[in-house]
Amino acid sequence: MEWLSERLGLRREALKEGLGGEAVEYLMKINYYPPCSDQDLVVGAPVHTDVGAITFLVANEVSGLQAFKDNHWIDTKCTTSGIIVIIGDQFRVRKIMNFKRLYWKCSYYKFNYSWTECLFKRAK
């Protein structure tokens, strides 16, 4: 978290402190969606925001992820050597960083898509 704080121009401890300090709990969730040749069976991910602090998406070169900007949907460009970083609601709600809420959606049609979602929250 310190490295990410510095790269964002914040104090080294800013993100960690904002998410709970030493009591912060790190969770990881990994999803895999196999290809689907029948579009009628595809559900995809509806329009939403991420409730966690930060999400790392690892995808193949076939896109399906869209972000909402300037009142229209923009297709993201995916590459096998890249990671898409999405700033989630916890950063915004805790006022750690001044970001607008990011709305996004995804279609899983005819390609493999996997993502790793990291959520940070205070320990009870």
Residue 13 lies in a domain: no
- Alpha-carbon span 77 to 80, nearest angstrom: 10
Domains in the chain, number: 1
Would you state the pLDDT for residue 94? 62
Written as one string, the DSSP assignment of 42-105 is: ---EEEE--SSSEEEEEE-SS--EEEEETTEEEEPP--TT--EEEE-HHHHHTTSS--PPPPEE
Residue 14 lies in a domain: no
Residue 20 lies in a domain: no
Question: Residue 10 above 70 pLDDT?
Answer: yes
Q: What domain range includes position 69? A: 25-122
Residue 112 or residue 34, greater confidence: 34
Residue 8 lies in a domain: no
Residue 11 lies in a domain: no
Residue 4 lies in a domain: no
Residue 42 lies in a domain: yes
Residue 10 or residue 97, greater confidence: 10
- Mean pLDDT, rounded, for 19-41: 73
Instruction: Kindly report whether the global pTM for this prediction surpasses the value 0.85.
Output: no
Q: Which two tokens stand for residue 81?
A: 């050597």
Mean pLDDT taken over the chain = 71
Would you state the pLDDT for residue 85? 78
Residue type, 83: I
